[in-house]
Chains A and B, each alone.
Chain A
């Protein structure tokens, strides 16, 4: 009986410790090119998930920015990510990203955001699609000024 209790407890402890280990927060790659209106801007269709509409919308907006910053969008003029090395940049400039994503600094580079679908209920979450227009020229300048990327040239 005692042995059984011990083994159950040790399993709980192991599982608990595992959940404490740091994990990379994956983000959705469901971001697609919509159109390009003026030089230096890009419109994207992005999908976000959350407990409610507000959370899902901001998740979609953040996903759009993350794809532009770290992945690039094939078939567009931004097929190369704005930031070359995601892990390196995140570890060196954690303050910048904290302000950018958590404190909503990314919104200063967002020219418009329109929900293009209803909130869809899914298993354990809700999903929404948002059309986001981003001023990537000023975003790039901001990254240059904060020395996350080099200016054009050496």
Chain B
């Protein structure tokens, strides 16, 4: 299956609204079968990127392909292969859950909703307008899973949901897409998911991309990212040097701060070369070097804080 085009491929894709650059030119490749998490704070450009990919809005420059098809040519029929769920999606509120599913069924060549509503614990006869936020999201997800699309885009699906519903959604989603590995093609279902819930995303995403103020800071496999980022604490030899942050630290050391006994920082490239060797090159008087792995949440926070610090120093 290596000759298959990536599920999503963007080249120098950008979007401006007037003079405001919502998304700086970015390159992004989402491999088939990946669960690709798009993280970033509010206004980072996650929703804009998804809408560009789905041809809901038009790019200012650059190009993108979705399942091998140019994003600009995506029209109605393309959505038999692409599912989209968004926290703000306007639904036909007057329909019941079952009515909504029944209405959508004839639009798709494949429709398998046996036990889907039961599995998602959805009341089939209740109107969409009478559903809670979590239930609405489940109904939206059900309407996507039923036609087994090879690509699902989810824009903040967990926003505002309680942990139980969140877990339930993820469980159903993973269960269904695992079932799909034996269907259409053996690369399985690709998911691009934007989320604030980093802990949840970390538990199941295979890849992660970080958008910050419209710029893509990185996009890589989750395992590589976790390996790359480490929180490092350096203890300096007593009386060897004053306990303050040296001015010429490497650029891949973020949020460096002095401690009583030395220095603490986040290393963004810890796996490339021996960590101890790198630290000793910069801080020859280091007596001990301790490093810890970071969670996606701590990596995210470190990057945001670092960015804010850089902005402050520039201004």
Q: Do A and B come from one complex?
A: no
